[in-house]
Structures are given as C-alpha cells and as structure tokens.
Structure 1
Amino acid sequence: MQASLFPIAQDNLSLVHPQARRSVFWELEATAVAAVEKSGHPEFEKEAWLSTTLFEQKTCGYSIGYLNPDPIPSAPAISTVLYCLRDYAPGAATLPTAPVSKDAALITSLFIDEVFRGVGMEAVLLDAALVDLIKMEVPAVEAFGIRDLKINGSIGLDPTVREIAAQRNRIGLIEVEMLESAGFEVVADHPVLPRLRMEMPPQDPLMSAMEAQLLLASVEVH
C-alpha cells in the first residue's frame, strides 16, 4: 500500500502521528506543560489546540500515512508536521534563540517514525507546509532547528538547552540540515538550537501539493 500525504482536518485528528498528539511543548506555556503531562492526558489539550488552530487558520499541518477506504479505520500517521502563527506557539519562548520574529509564522515540529527517518518524507512534509503558508500570505516562516549533539558534544550546555535537546524527538525538533535543504537560513545562531527563517515567497518555487504527492510516491515507504 502506498502512503498518502493529507492535510490535518477536524475529521482526521485521530490520525495525527501518535507522538504529535501527546506533545504539548510548543502549544502551551512552559509553566503549564508539566501539569498537563502529569495529568496523563496531554492529548486532550493537543486536540483542543488543533481544533482551535484549524478554526482560526483553516490549516495547521500535514500527515503522511496509510489511508483505508471507509468503513475500515485508518492507522495513525507515520509522520506529521505542524505549523501556526507565532501567537499559537507560546512554548517557543523556552528556546534560547527565541522570540520568533513578529512578522513570521512558525513551523513548530515534525514527528516521524524512526524507521522512516531520512528516506525523504521530511522534505515532502516541509514543502507541503510551506505551500500552505504561502497561501496564508505570511511575510516569513521561521523554525527552531537542532544541530547534531555528537558534533557539539564538547560544548557546555545550559541545563534548559540540555533538557530541550534531550527530548528532541518527543517534541519534534527538526534537524538544521533538513531546514537548510528546504531553503531556510540561520538568523539567530546557537551551537545546538539556532532559529532559521525563510522569506515568503522564496526565490525558488516550491512544489504544489500535487507535486509533493508525486514526490512522496517516489519514496519507498511500503
């Protein structure tokens, strides 16, 4: 079965990548995250955030997964990217290179099953997100990237930075190299967690959603 690229919508919130459904790092202020996670049901807060953001923005992310014809239930996505206007991501203030620029939207996170990491799905999701953000007519898009800690292992890290880096996959941090490949440039540098930016529209044309689906078809995700 071929995996499909599809936008997050009210009727498919249950198909968002499982880790994306549990993570509230970006969606809540830092003081609220611990309490929500301690409750044991962070997915309720995340679903409320998704519903509110979809209502306000009409779009907030894409997933890749295997969709079954009705009435057979589909499995959760194997990868999901999320994006929003800066005010919808208060958790970003925790990052050492915050704040997000006032004129920019934010690609907050990308979650992917480990077995599919690095086969091309990340690029497909980022391009699909950027196409939607162009349609939203935002002046720019930013994202917080993470650098390879093995390369920077000798650098003394602030405890907050160390904690964020340690949960990179749990909160969906995106590799700097992946963001740069998509056309982002570093605007606030940091040894581990720089902030990157892309002016909209970019100089190089982005693929349409159809082209993204065709690219996905060329990726071996069977």
Structure 2
Amino acid sequence: MSRFLAPLTLDRLDDLPAACRRCVHWELDPVAGERAVRAGDAAFEKEAWLSAVLLEWGTAGRIAYVDDVPAGYVTYAPPAFVPRSTAFPTSPVSPDAVLLMTAAVLPLYRGGGLARMLVQGAAKDLTRRGLRAIEAFGDASPPAVPPDPADVRTAEAPPGGCVVPAEFLLAVGFTTVRPHPRYPRLRLDLRTALSWREDVEAALERILAGVRHPVLTGS
C-alpha cells in the first residue's frame, strides 16, 4: 500500500469529496456564500478562490492518497483569504498564524495514521514558508445531527459540521488561546506538530473518526 501527500492545486481540486468541492463556507462571507449556493455557482467560486490563493500565497492544503486514491485532506490559508473567519465569536486569528479550515480522513482509510500524516504535512509546508503557528476555530460540542445543507447559519452560529471538533485539535497539540462554550480559538506551535511521537497517532485517529464530511454551507 503506497501513501503520499500532494499539495492542493487546481488540478487536484476535484479530488476533494464532492460536498467539499462544492462548498464555499470558509472561502466567502456569509452573504456571498449563500448567494453562490443558491445560484449553483459554489464550485466555480471555490475554484476562483483557490486560484487567487495559489497566485498570491501558494498552496492552500494537502490531500492524502492511498494507492493513488484520495483518502483525506487538510485545508489552510492566511485569515485574509478566509472571509468567514471573521464570523466567529472568538475571531480574529492571530496576525502571525495561518488558519486551519478543515481536516478529514475518509471512513475507509481511518486508523492508518493519515490524520497525523496530514497535520504534520501541513506543519512541514508552513514551516518551510517561514510560519510559526497555525490556529483553528474548534467546535466544542459538535451537533449529533449534521446541519441541513440549505441552512446558511448566522455569524454567531457557523455550521457545526464544517468546523473541526475542538477535541481533535486538542489531541494534536493545539492549546486554547480564546475560550468559548461552542467555538474556542486554538493554536498550535508548528514545531510541536513536527516532534510528535508515534503513539499520538491512535488518539488522532480516534478523535478524527467523529469528524463529518463538510456540507454545502461549510468547507
């Protein structure tokens, strides 16, 4: 079984799960995101967003492959490229950090270490680019029922299925920098991710198993 990570580029965009490929929750502000979804333009807007980020900053994530089949992904970008980041009650992201937007491993491939591989791959990429930290808005109490794809939430209540569980973020070394009962903001020193021990892997996979695939209102 061969496993490798590849940068998220335009030619690999279609390797994201279909729901995430059509999702612009993070990439657009709430009003523009709702408009794009209703007009059926979400996939086009996502491609346009990624194109702009690639041109101005570089790759915005990593995709994991197992035997050449897409098996998981992580996405991240500077908060200036992520309009939805200002909609959280614990915003803004620190000036020296990049925002982790999404992270997921497809169910068939969980338990094989891809979660740690993805986060460490992101840490290596960002470290090479001179960055020191990555932050994320965690969901401290993910809802038991995934949100309705047609329901575009308000700024105070981003769709829970589109936000990485805070439990997962804490398990991979993030620490809380701004508490909140539902959407705390957490931070990871990239050097911490690069020095993980192998025995962290089991905890990561167990937590990530609870991460749902994004829906149309969140990516």
Q: Distance in 1 between matches of 2:154 and 2:181?
A: 14
Distance apart, 1:16 and its partner CA: 2.4
- 8 Å CA contact 1:19, 1:111 repeated in 2: no
- 8 Å CA contact 1:145, 1:175 repeated in 2: yes
- 8 Å CA contact 1:100, 1:142 repeated in 2: yes
Q: Distance in 2 between matches of 1:204 and 1:131?
A: 7
Distance apart, 1:191 and its partner CA: 1.5
> What does 1:1-222 align with in structure 2 at a 5 Å threshold?
2-66=2-66, 68=68, 77-116=70-109, 120-149=113-142, 160=154, 163-164=157-158, 167-169=159-161, 171=162, 173-202=163-192, 205=195
Question: Identity over the aligned pairs, expressed in percent?
Answer: 32
Q: Which residue of 1 aligns with 2:213?
A: none
Counterpart amino acid of residue 36 in structure 1: A
- Where 2:138 maps in the other structure, the secondary structure is strand
Q: Distance in 2 between matches of 1:91 and 1:136?
A: 24
Gaps of 5+ in 1: 69-74, 152-158
Distance apart, 1:66 and its partner CA: 4.5
Per the alignment, do residues 56 and 203 of structure 1 end up closer, same or farther by CA in structure 2, a change over 3 Å counting?
A: same
Distance apart, 1:202 and its partner CA: 3.6
**Rg comparison, structure with higher value:** 1
Q: Distance in 1 between matches of 2:111 and 2:18?
A: 19
- 8 Å CA contact 2:6, 2:62 repeated in 1: yes
- 8 Å CA contact 1:10, 1:51 repeated in 2: yes
TM-score by length of 2: 0.74
- Where 1:23 maps in the other structure, the secondary structure is coil
Q: For each residue in 1:104-162, what CA deviation from the matched residue of structure 2 results, as whole angstroms up to 9, or x when unmatched?
A: 111111244345456543222111111111112124211111123479xxxxxxx8478
TM-score by length of 1: 0.73
- 8 Å CA contact 1:185, 1:197 repeated in 2: yes
Q: Distance in 2 between matches of 1:101 and 1:162?
A: 19
Gaps of 5+ in 2: 145-152, 206-219
Q: Distance in 2 between matches of 1:83 and 1:203?
A: 15
Q: Distance in 1 between matches of 2:157 and 2:62?
A: 27
Q: Count residues with an aligned counterpart.
A: 192
